[in-house]
Structure formats: C-alpha cells, structure tokens
Chains A and B, each alone.
Chain A
Amino acid sequence: MIAELGHFSLCLAFALALAQTVLPLWGAARGHSRLIAAAAPLAVGQLLATAAAFAALLAAFAVNDTSVINVVQNSHSAKPMLYKLAGAWGNHEGSMLLWVLILALCGGAVAGFGRDLPGLLRARVLAVLGLVALGFLAFVLATSNPFGRVWPPAADGQGLNPVLQDPGLAFHPPLLYLGYVGYAVTFAFAVAALLEGRVDAAWGRWVRPWALAAWCFLTLGIALGSWWAYYELGWGGWWFWDPVENASLLPWLAGSALLHSAIVVEKREALKVWSVLLALLAFGFSLLGTFLVRSGVLNSVHAFANDPERGVFILFLLLFYVGGSFFLFALRAPSMAPTGMFAPLSREGGLVLNNLLLCAMAAVVLTGTLWPMFADLLFQQKISVGPPFFNSALLPLAAPLIAAMAAGPMLAWKRAKLWPVLQRLWWTALAAFSAFAITLAYAGWRIGPALGFAAALWLIGGALADIVERIALFRRPAAAWSRARGLPRAAWGAAVAHAGLGVSILGMAGMGLATDRLAAVTPGQSIAHAGYEWRLDRVEDVIGPNWTARRATVTVLRNNAVVTVLTPERRFFPVGRMNTTEAAIRTSVGGDLYAVLGEEQNGQAVLRVHDNPLAPWIWLGAAIMALGGALSLSDRRVRVAAPAPRAAAGVKV
C-alpha cells in the first residue's frame, strides 16, 4: 500500500512538474499574470509530492518490506536502521529518487526564498526547473521505478554492498547531490536570462547565492567521498583520479569559476556571456557525471549496474538539456554586449585569470576522463589515463592560480597597481619561500610537496594579510575590532575559503611525504616504520551486528612509550559474501597513523602500516572552504537580494 502511494505521489509530481513547466512559460510569453503567479505554488506542490514518494521509499526500507524488489535487492533485516535507511538511496533507483527530491527542494527554495525576484524571472526560473524535473521524473517512472513489487515476497533482503555500510557514505550522496543538483538553479537562472535576452548586475546578484550554496554542498560532498575512500577502501590514498571522482570535480571547477565571474557581473556588468556559459556548463557537467555513473559506459568502482537502455534515456535527457541550452546560448549570447571596461591588471582582470585557469583545469580533467573512452570507441585502444597525466597537466595551471589567489582580493576594481599589493604580501612570500626551502632541506629533492607547502603558506598568509589590511590591524589597532565587525561577511567568506584551500593543500603536501610499509608478522613481532615501532599483539575473531571479523591489535610505540593502540579489521559480511577492510587510523594534529590488516597465513598476518603526515587537514580544509562559502552566503547583501523565508512553511534548503 505504502509503495503504491509512493508510486502515485511520483506520478503526481510528474503532472505537477508538467504544469510547472508549461503554465509559467505560457504566462510569461503572453503576459498572463495568474499563470506567472502559479509557478511558485506548483513548485511547492511538486516538492510535497516528491517528498511523499521519498518518504514512502524510506518507510519500505525501514520496515524491510520484502515485497518491494528494491528492498529485496538492497536491504536486509539484519542491517542497522541507519544503513537500512541509507540503503534507500544507496542503489540506482533510490538515488535517482533522491536526485529528483533535491531538485524539487531547489524549486521549493526558489519559490520560498526568491520572493524579491522579478515575477517574470522567477516564473521562468521555476519553469526551467520544472522542465528538468519533468525529464528526470519521466526517467524514474519509465526505467527506474523504485516501487516495483515482487510476489511472493522474498524471505529476506539480499543485503547492501558492505563497503557502503558506513556513516560517511550514508551522507555522501545527499551532500553531493545537493551540490550537483543545486547547479540546476544557476542553470535555470542562465536559461531564464537567455530567454529574456538580458543579463545585468541584478542577475549576477541573484544567481550568486545559489552558486555559492551549491558550491558549499559540492565541496563538502567531494571531501566526504574522498575521506571515505581514505579510511574505508584501505589503500591509504585520498584521491585516485577515478572517472567518477573526476566527474564530481568538473562541476566543482566550473562552479568555482561561476562563483567568481558572477561577482564581476554584479559589480561591473562584465563577463556576462561567460558567466551564463559557466552556469550552463556547471549543470551540464553534473548531468554528464550522472550519465557516466549510471549508463555503464565507464569502468569504475562507483558505477551503478549497467543498463544501456537507461543510458540511452539519460543521454537523451543530457542532450536535450545541455544541447537545448547551448542552442539558446548560440542564439542569444552574441547580442549580449559587455558594458563595464577594465584594465588587465585589476580585480576584474584577476577574476578573468581565475576563470581561465579554472576552465583550463576543467578541460584537462574532462579530457583525461573521457579520452580513454573515446580512444576505445574510435581506435579500439585500451588506454588508461592516470595520476601522472593529471598531476603534470594540472600543476602548471594550479601554480599561477594559487599565485594569483592571494593577490587577487587585494587588487582594486577597474585599474589596480601591483606594487602596493606586493608590499602587503612580502612577508607571506618570504614564509612560502622558507617553507619551500625547509621542505627541500629536510625531505630531500621532493619538488611536489615542497611546492605544496609553499602554496599552502602563501594562501593562508595571503588571506590573513587581506584581513589585516582591511581592518587596518597594524595601522590603527584601536579601531581594528570595530572595523572587523563592520567588514562585509562576503570579505570574511572569501578570506576563509581561500585559507581553507591553503589548509587542504597543506594536507595534500603532507600526504606527498607519506610513507608505508608492508610486512608479514607473527603476534609479538614488530615493524619499524617512520620512527615508530608497530607491534602486532594478537589477531582475534570479533562479531558485529551483521558481520564477523578478524581484528588485529597493533600497539604503536615511540621510544618504548605507547603512542596508541590500533585495531584494523577484515570484516566478512555473510549476507553479501563480501570482505571489507577496516583501516585503523589514529588522527592527530600532525597526521595519521594508519594500519590495514591483510591476509593471514601460517600464523603470520600481513600488516600494511602508513605514516600520513598532515592527512586530516585535507578534509578539514574543505570544511573550512565550505564554511567560507556559508559566511559569504550570510552576507547582508545576499539576504537583501533574497530575504529570509517569512512564510515558506515546509521549505528547507
């Protein structure tokens, strides 16, 4: 019954999305104010219907309703409740439902928060969002219905991939989708602007908070995924240039560029065409990621079950939205002339450089990700593009980007002078150079990590210098506090986000110096590694809620004093007949001690021990970046453009 209600709600959402697309567009074209006004209530209605469908799916998983195929395939009564619920979106059908739910949330948010938008623009934005929802609801209903029944009901479910039974992963897809799908809003704004044929400062101001919010969620989602790969897969790495990881990086790069170019549109009415294109690209990349993951055209640990039929459906959706918007772009963009002029050396110039470099990086990642697939298709060649390509192709782009990042926020609009900026940054440059020299002196000829430490200090120092200058900390210390309070939150946000990237790079540079050692030891024996003594005390059996495991107890000593006790495990999930490795990690400010238990043979256990200096800062930096975005989002200017929800009951972001 509940499953049928869910299915019905989904059909209702489809009908509402159809109305949300057609009526406002018709009204906007013909000037019917009632049809224009219908957009917001229809969006809220579609949100309620989609939310009801999602709640029905959650209910089916919560009670382990084994007459629903999706539950049978992806759940099991022995699973803890959190993973039963997470199982609802841990599979293709359920995750598509989450996708359309988040899209409906975006529509609801525009309806609720966008009260100050001009009525026509809001109607068009909601109509475009409705159109996107329409396609994906059709996809779910036609090819991926999560509410299908099976009769007679199965005795119990077939479990969930045990690698996915992890709190980090339970929240990774929702956050990532909030980011991916969040770019649907900026896409809708861009398409609405193309339909109207007008992009002005106000457009830049309206689009920026949405770009910021999507960017924050995407940053957190990517970081959570990377962190999960680090502690769950047990390979000791944090980024593998896997095609699906790359697919999440593409909208992030385009979205970061959009974030910055929208500032120029808002302040100076320049880079308009460029910003519109970036908004289209960011969502286009999100859709590309969806297509790559779900069609089975690529080989990845992340890929869902392949189904060429579904792939064709998504491909046509992708081509319709991306192709349609690019067509509109080709039609309308040539007539959008820039108005604000600026010198190459100016804040705008810096932001243009930022855009060019970020887009070049996106192009590199896109090429590296798609090239193996196209080489296979066109030349029947199996090639793999791995870290060496990405690292060597991205470094020359990242270096000038980071160099400019610290100086950019200090440049004046229109025409800037470089000398005063350099004067403020000389001590930061000195710190960065010393970091470079010290790393080389202590770690040997390791250019990558040395550059990384220099970049990290340059960014963090640059952000500090920017704030110090703005609040005149040294020139007029007495007034600094009140100036700091008066500083716009957007300025704080930019500094915090830039420093956050610096913190992330600090962690990455540290990981560049990580070392690991593999050895087979009997209990009582030790491995000497990275200045620690890793002593295997025992290996024993343990039993969890739905798994059994072998657990090693490894005592880590330094100078005969116990530093920590690590308990890496190899878990066996009987229902899924799968093994997982649970790395044991001891995190401290200075880095992670990381141990993985391998096979056991003849009383010996294989242990892999890693010393990962500064590793946790990678993800902490990403959290700081998202915090910076949130700070910027809380700026008064943004709230004036999009005031707090007064009566938007039931609408959350």
Chain B
Amino acid sequence: MATTSRRLLMLAPLGLAAAGGAGFYAMLRGMGTGSYDPKGVPSVLVGKPAPAFVLPALDEAGVPGLEDAALRDLPAPVLVNFWASWCVPCIVEHPQLMTLAREGVPVFGINYKDKPADAAAFLARRGNPFLRLGRDEPGRVAIDWGVYGVPETYVLDRKGIIRWRWPGPVTPEVLQQDIRPLLRRHA
C-alpha cells in the first residue's frame, strides 16, 4: 500500500467523526429552533387546511355534526379530537377536554368506529365537551386525516389551517405545555 493512501485511510475515522459531529450539532441547533424534533410525529396535514368531509351528527348528543366547511374562518382556534367509547386513553384525556370546553375553547369531536349507542352512553356518563360531533363509523375520514389511532387531537388556527397534531391522550401536561401555548399563539 502506498504511504499516501495509507495516510488517507488513517484519516477516515477522523473524517467520519467530524461529519457525524456536524450532523449532531445541526440536530441540537434544530431542537432549539424547532426545525428538528425527534419526538414529533409529523403530519403531512400540518400547515394545510383540513381535508374535505361531511359527517352526520350523533343524535343523542344534541350537537350538530361536523363538516370541513365548519372548520374555515373561525372566531378562535379549535381542537379536533378523534375518540371512541372503546378506547381507554380516551377516558384518561376526557377531563382535560371537559376543562377546555368549560373555558369556552371550541372542541370538535369525531367519533371513530363506534356504535352510536356506546358513544352516547360514554358522553352521558362523562359529559359532552364537544361543540360539534361527527360520527365516522366506517373510519374513512380518519384515514383522510392520517389518524394513527384514537385518541388523536389536532389544533386548527382561525383560518382552519392545521397547526399541530398529537397522537395519544391529552394529559394535563400536554394541555399545559402544548395546547394552551398553541391556543394563545393562534388566538
């Protein structure tokens, strides 16, 4: 082996380490500015309006159904929450949704792959936080939104642009650390 190529070969570890280091540094910078977020599950819909849909109401709930037209030109940012009566984390997040509803934050619900009677029983027992509630019994609309599973929550700004997506229950921490700042920012 020629000496120069041998020397270059011995430089390879340093070069790889430097490249890796630069990448890690960019990640850390990005975490500060928000451009790199390892925990975020991105949605292709973030930054875009909600896809077109029309969902029937749940009669027992006494609130109107939900369609995409209801998500344009709003007086305040809204939450859209996908839930089901059979979903245990939905019970965990329910008190937080009730809190928001009491404070006057519009929370729209999409009831996912549920029997109307079960969904009604759920709301009758735990309270109804939803201003509007659409029934997505076949789960089609959830597919258009790219829902991973219930519960899943979206924040839409006043123009109806999806700003944030949270797969998983809205715990008190998520409410305090993510949702409230978002609502303030887009108010």
Interface residues of A (CB under 8 A from B): 273, 277, 280-281, 284, 291, 295-299, 306, 308, 311-312, 315, 318-319, 322-323, 326-327, 329-330, 333-334, 370, 373-374, 376-378, 382, 599
Contact = CB atoms under 8 A, between A and B. Distances in A.
Given A329-B14, A334-B7, A373-B38, A323 B21 contact: yes
B42 A329 contact: no
Q: Closest 10 CB pairs between A and B?
A: A326-B14, A326-B13, A299-B38, A330-B11, A319-B21, A308-B31, A330-B10, A297-B27, A333-B10, A311-B28
A327 B14 contact: yes
Contacts of B29: 308
A329 B10 contact: yes
B53 interface: no
Interface in B80-112: 88
A280 B28 contact: no
Given A298-B38, A377-B36, A382-B41, A330 B27 contact: no
B29 to A, nearest CB: 8
Given A296-B38, A323-B14, A599-B88, A308 B28 contact: yes
Given A277-B13, A376-B36, A382-B42, A297 B18 contact: no
Contacts of A330: 7, 10-11, 13-14
A329 B13 contact: yes
A284 B17 contact: yes
B117 interface: no
A370 B30 CA distance: 16
A311 B30 CA distance: 12
A567 B90 CA distance: 28
Interface string B16-27: 011011011111
Given A308-B29, A382-B42, 5 more contacts: A295-B24, A296-B31, A311-B28, A312-B25, A330-B7
A276 to B, nearest CB: 10
15 contacts: A281-B13, A297-B31, A298-B38, A308-B31, A312-B25, A315-B21, A315-B24, A318-B24, A319-B17, A319-B18, A330-B13, A333-B10, A334-B7, A374-B23, A382-B41
Contacts of A322: 17
Contacts of A297: 24, 27-28, 31, 36, 38
Contacts of B26: 377
Most chain B C-beta atoms within 10 Å of own C-beta, residue among A306, A326, A333: A326
B177 interface: no
B6 interface: yes
B149 to A, nearest CB: 15
A318 B23 CA distance: 13
A315 B28 contact: yes
Contact of A373 (B13, B21, B27): B27
A299 B37 CA distance: 9
A284 to B, nearest CB: 7
Interface in B37-76: 38-39, 41-42
The DSSP consensus for interface residues of chain A is helix
Nearest to B1: A334
B7, B18, B26, B31: residue with the most chain A Cβ atoms closer than 10 Å: B31
A333 B88 CA distance: 60
Given A315-B21, A334-B3, A377 B14 contact: no
Contacts of A376: 36, 38
A377 B17 CA distance: 17
A323 B18 contact: yes
A295 B28 contact: yes
Most chain A Cβ neighbours within 10 Å, of B18, B20, B29, B39: B20
Contacts of B41: 382
Contacts of B17: 284, 319, 322-323, 326
A538 B36 CA distance: 49
A280 B24 CA distance: 20
Given A284-B17, A323-B18, A330-B13, A315 B38 contact: no
B138 interface: no
Contacts of B23: 373-374, 377-378
Nearest to A273: B10
A583 B11 CA distance: 50
B13 to A, nearest CB: 4
A635 B42 CA distance: 56
A327 B17 CA distance: 10
Contacts of A377: 23, 26-27, 30, 36
Contacts of B42: 382
A291 B20 CA distance: 12
A329 to B, nearest CB: 6
Contacts of B28: 295, 297, 308, 311-312, 315
A334 B38 contact: no
Nearest to A321: B17
Nearest to B86: A601
A367 to B, nearest CB: 11
Nearest to A292: B24
B98 to A, nearest CB: 18
A52 to B, nearest CB: 33
Q: Which of A273, A327, A377 has the most CB of B within 10 A?
A: A377
A323 B24 CA distance: 14
A291 B23 CA distance: 13
Nearest to A332: B10
A280 B30 CA distance: 29
Nearest to A336: B10
A45 to B, nearest CB: 32
Contact of A311 (B3, B20, B31): B31
A281 B12 CA distance: 13
Nearest to B4: A334
Contacts of B11: 330
A620 to B, nearest CB: 35
A311 B21 CA distance: 12
A329 B10 CA distance: 7
